[in-house]
């Protein structure tokens, strides 16, 4: 009896752990985009998840209304959100670059309201499903949806692509240099305006990629940003704002907590647990998971 219970329990546990890892991939992708913006421009886009939401609507309309195949819609959607990221920087952040950082953050808060209501007005409050049913992979007793596997793989590829871009290209090098020292790089002849715009577009593109993947997992509605956003911010703070590796690790830690917490109770309690963990970590490691204590 006990043995049978343990067997089932272990399988469930393993399934949950693996699903947590798969979920972590998308979270890591989201955190990377936000961290990139923060690390380079020193701005927090509170409306980051709303960009993802707009991207998800883009996918929904392209695929279900206009009948564009998924693989063709995805690049279009990534470009769309990348353009929105650049536009956000150009219209909102650039006029505020010399004012206190908190003003920039609050202005993007205004953009959050704006995008959310825009979606409500334009698309209505109904939940929309993209209507792509991917099969389920059965491994022994465990079930994994292909949607999750696909999103995990795509998220990893996206992250590797960003890494290569940052390491191997001239613009990538300039971005990393600016992240290290904003004042000196101007003297070295780097056009900060251009680099900021490129970084914003890149951050937007990552949000777009995340949107293409999340639309496979969840229904889209105007307020979905409110459920994605907070968790992304927490991951970035937990990993240390601007710390790419820290954000990556924190994303998986969070995904596991949510996944395991959700196994024993509702998914919402998983979130509560993750938030609680976050507060505790604030006491232990206030400057991020990977920071050294001073």
Partner 1 sequence: MNRRQLAIAIAGAVLIALPFVHRDPYHLHILILILIWSFAYTSWSMMGRFGLVSLGHGGFMGAGAYVTALLWNHLGISPWLGIPLALAVSAALALVVGYPCFRFRITGHYFVLVTLALSGIVLQIITAARDWTGGSLGYTPERTKGSVLVALQFEDKTTWYLIALAVWAGGLLIWRWVDGSMDRYALEAISEDEDAAAAAGVNVTYEKLKITVLSAVMTAFSGALYCQYQMFISPDTVSGISVSLQMVFAAIVGGLYVALGPTVGAIITILMAEGLRIGLGTKAVGWDNLIYGLLLVLFIIFLPKGVLGSILARIKARR
Site residues (CB under 8 A) for partner 1? 38, 44, 46, 92, 95-96, 99-103, 105-107, 109-118, 120-121, 125, 222, 226, 229-231, 233-234, 236-237, 241, 266, 268-269, 271-272, 275-276, 278-279, 282-283, 286-287
Smaller CB separation from partner 1, 215 or 273:
273
CB of 268 to partner 1, least distance (A): 3
CB of 292 to partner 1, least distance (A): 14
Smaller CB separation from partner 1, 75 or 101:
101
In terms of phi and psi (left: phi > 0; alpha: psi -120 to 50; beta: otherwise), the region of 242 is left
CB of 134 to partner 1, least distance (A): 28
Smaller CB separation from partner 1, 100 or 131:
100
CB of 46 to partner 1, least distance (A): 8
Smaller CB separation from partner 1, 68 or 118:
118
Structure tokens at 13: 């546990």
Structure tokens at 149: 């596997």
Between CA 232 and CA 214 the distance in angstroms is: 13
Structure tokens at 260: 């395991």
- For 46-102, the DSSP string reads TTHHHHHHHHHHHHHIIIIIS---HHHHHHHHHHHHHHHHHHHIIIIIGGGTTS-HH
Which residue, among 262, 281, 278, has the nearest Cα to 270 in the 3D structure?
Answer: 262
Smaller CB separation from partner 1, 113 or 163:
113
Between CA 137 and CA 134 the distance in angstroms is: 9
**Please, are residues 273 and 261 in contact by the beta-carbon 8 Å criterion?**
yes
CB of 270 to partner 1, least distance (A): 9
CB of 138 to partner 1, least distance (A): 31
Smaller CB separation from partner 1, 245 or 282:
282
Smaller CB separation from partner 1, 96 or 142:
96
Number of H helices, E strands in the chain: 11, 2
CB of 280 to partner 1, least distance (A): 9
* Cα Rg, the chain, nearest whole Å: 20
Burial group, residue 36, by CB count within 10 angstroms (0-12, 13-18, 19+): buried
């Amino acid at each position: 009896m006990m043995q049978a219970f343990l067997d089932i329990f272990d399988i469930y546990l393993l399934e949950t752990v693996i699903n947590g890892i798969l979920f972590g991939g998308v979270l890591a992708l989201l955190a990377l985009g936000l961290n990139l913006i923060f690390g380079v421009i020193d701005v927090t886009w509170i409306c980051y998840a709303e960009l993802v939401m707009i991207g998800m609507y883009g996918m929904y309309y392209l695929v279900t209304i206009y009948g564009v195949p998924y693989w063709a819609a995805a690049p279009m959607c990534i470009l769309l959100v990348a353009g929105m990221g650049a536009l956000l920087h150009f219209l909102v952040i650039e006029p505020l670059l010399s004012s206190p950082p908190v003003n920039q953050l609050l202005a993007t808060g205004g953009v959050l309201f704006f995008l959310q209501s825009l979606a409500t007005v334009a698309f209505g409050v109904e939940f929309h499903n993209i209507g792509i049913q991917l099969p389920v992979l059965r491994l022994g007793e465990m079930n994994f949806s292909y949607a999750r596997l696909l999103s995990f793989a795509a998220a990893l590829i996206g992250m590797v692509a960003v890494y290569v871009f940052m390491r191997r290209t001239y613009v990538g090098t300039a971005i990393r240099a600016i992240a290290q020292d904003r004042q000196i790089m101007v003297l070295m002849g780097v056009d900060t305006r251009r680099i900021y715009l490129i970084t914003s577009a890149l951050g937007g593109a990552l949000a777009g990629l995340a949107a293409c993947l999340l639309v496979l997992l969840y229904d889209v509605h105007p307020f979905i940003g409110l459920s994605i956003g907070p968790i992304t911010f927490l991951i970035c703070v937990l990993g240390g704002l601007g710390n790419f590796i820290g954000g990556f690790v924190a994303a998986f830690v969070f995904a596991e907590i949510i996944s395991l917490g959700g196994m024993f109770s509702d998914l919402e309690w998983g979130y509560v647990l993750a938030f609680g963990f976050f507060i505790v970590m604030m006491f232990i490691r206030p400057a991020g998971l990977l920071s050294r204590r001073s």
